[in-house]
Structure 1
Amino acid sequence: MPAAPLQASPANITLITAQGSTISTASLLTVPLSALPAQTLKVSLSGTLIQITLRQRSTGLYADFDANSTRFLSSVLCQDRTWLVRDAAIGLPGDFLFADTQGQKNPDATALGSRFLLLYRPGWTV
């Protein structure tokens, strides 16, 4: 029997993105991660089962996003407080960003889920 998808939980931090905008924590969910250099997880977000694959390489942490057996984004470089999807036209129901809870370092696998949080913002603003 396949494992049930992970559940995201509300975020409890205030963020200013790399672009300078303030994000309301009430609208963000934390995607549960493990401190592993390569991982794939499935999480139900905004009524869509999204598969996220993370891989640590020498040049940084990279993410792939799939939904409904379709690859929407591949090998996106994960940087601190920088939106990963950035466009509703991609087809995902919202956007993701990593946040360093102890500074402004780009995420790496050694502290995923603790120091480096993957946050999800449902929907898109116009």
Structure 2
Amino acid sequence: MQTVPLAAVPSQRLSVALAQQNCGLALYQKRTGLYLDLYVAGNLVMAGVLCRTGVYLVREAYLGFAGDLVFTDTAGSDDPDYTGLGSRWPLLYVQASAVASA
């Protein structure tokens, strides 16, 4: 697993290499929760995904992303909020082999 570096701000975009994939992430807080957009090599893979603790965000290999992303809560089981990004709610990249066996 690899931790994706996040800041505790309500809206952010970042670029990160995950398993040799050049990825772009956009995270943004709304009244209804935290949402994620994912790009691989500049191509949109998915948009507007509600982030939930312990729930894989990509889930489908046909989308063109090897592996998956998941938030964990280090202080309980609440869904992520921007105020604790990078600390209470780390975003983890899980390799494809680990996702397949889960």
TM-score interval (norm. to shorter): over 0.9
1:88 aligns with 2:61: yes
Partner of 1:69: 42
Correspondent of 1:121 among 80, 94, 97: 94
TM-score norm. by structure 1 comes to 0.76
Rg (Cα) greater in structure: 1
TM-score norm. by structure 2 comes to 0.93
Write out the 4+ residue segments of structure 1 that deviate beyond 2 Å after TM superposition.
none
Correspondent of 1:42 among 4, 12, 15: 15
Percent pairwise identity: 41
1:33 aligns with 2:11: no
Structure with the higher helix share, 1 or 2:
2
Following the alignment from structure 1 to structure 2, what is the Cα–Cα distance between the partners of residues 93 and 41? 18
Which consecutive residues of structure 1, in runs of 5 or more, have no partner in the other structure? 1-27
Aligned 8 A contact 2:23 2:42 in 1: no
1:55 aligns with 2:28: yes
What RMSD in Å do the two structures reach over aligned CA positions? 1.0
Following the alignment from structure 2 to structure 1, what is the Cα–Cα distance between the partners of residues 24 and 68? 14
Structure with more contact order per residue of length (Cα contacts < 8 Å, sep ≥ 6): 2
Residue 70 of structure 1: CA displacement?
A: 0.6
